[in-house]
Amino acid sequence: MIAPDSSMSVTLHEDIPCNLCGSRNASLLYPSTLTHASLDAADFRCTSAAYGVHPPIVRCNECGLVYANPRWDSSLVSENYSVVEDPTYVEEREGRVLTFSRNLAPFERLAARSPTRRLLDVGCHIGVMVELAQARGWEAWGVEPSTWASERARARGLRVITGTLADAHAPADYFDVVTMWDVIEHLTDPAAEIRSVYRVVKPGGIFAIHTIDIESLFARLMGKRWPWLMEMHLYYFSPRTLGKMLARAGFQVVSSHAQGRFLRLGYFATRLAPYSRWLYRALDATIARLNWGSVAIPVNFGDLFTLYARKV
């Protein structure tokens, strides 16, 4: 077990073992940069730009999993996700539509032999993936802890349940595909969630996960300046460590590859502000002058990956 970080200016109450192997033998990777003594739900928005603000981040000396420890109590984290609102996400919807439209094809091919087309998107937010899958003939469902986001999804006529996968009470062996886009890094107990997914997906069914890659070249080059080191991220997987966790739950990894996303130019510019104000202002002014704010571009630094696994 690591010693408490003496540079911490706030008290974090939950000291946890490794979620992959259960060990408490971990080494400090990045010291805490927190300066506030309580949680702010705004820092848990999907579009938060609070880069570089995080609890202590450690690496398990036994299996290599990277995670935040110590951290805020799990109950506080869950409470903040239930009340968080994120209007910027709605403004950026078109980028999500382009990203998820591209993401549909691979798991559709993997699940092509199934006589049914049932999909569950865990952490679906405003339901973009649910809506796109439904339009392509899937019986698509979503679960989302944010009351604000799930209400907006249902307002569009989507089958979205407010809460977690446990709250959904889904039947066992029901879904052909379960997806989890930019979610698993936020969970307080990802191993338990993966086991819950295993229960609801059919034998031979597909589990698609997209998350950040702590072992990517870009993450290693950036070090403590890697933008995904954030308070809302509790786990930092790689294809290697995520593959191990999936295997322990009974899944077999089918494939894994680096995969970026589409972002509007106007939104992309705002992501640069925490790093370089002058570059942000220059780019923002140029985009405004050319009226390119709504133009979507592919962004891929190699530090995001999508992994596909099959229930065996």
Per-residue model confidence (pLDDT) at position 217: 97
User: In a structure prediction context, what are the per-residue pLDDT tens digits for the chain, which is 312 residues long?
Assistant: 343 343 444 566 799 999 999 999 999 999 999 988 778 888 888 888 888 999 999 999 999 999 999 999 999 999 999 999 999 888 888 889 999 999 999 999 999 888 899 999 999 999 999 999 999 999 999 999 999 999 999 999 999 999 999 999 999 999 999 999 999 999 999 999 999 999 999 999 999 999 999 999 999 999 999 999 999 999 999 999 999 999 999 999 999 999 999 988 888 888 877 777 888 888 889 988 888 888 888 999 999 999 999 999
What's the Cα-to-Cα distance from 9 to each of 4, 37, 56, 72, 160, rounded to whole Å? 11, 8, 11, 14, 39
Q: By residue range, what is the domain housing residue 191?
A: 87-208+251-264+301-311
Q: How many domains does the chain have?
A: 1
Q: Is residue 97 part of a domain?
A: yes
What's the Cα-to-Cα distance from 26 to each of 56, 59, 108, rounded to whole Å? 11, 5, 39
**Burial of residue 57, with CB atoms counted within 10 A of its CB: 0-12 exposed, 13-18 middle, 19 or more buried:** buried
Q: Is residue 117 part of a domain?
A: yes
Type of residue found at 200: V
Q: Is residue 187 part of a domain?
A: yes
Q: Is residue 27 part of a domain?
A: no
Q: Is residue 12 part of a domain?
A: no
Q: Is residue 184 part of a domain?
A: yes
Q: Is residue 178 part of a domain?
A: yes
- Which CATH number covers residue 195? 3.40.50.150
Q: Is residue 285 part of a domain?
A: no
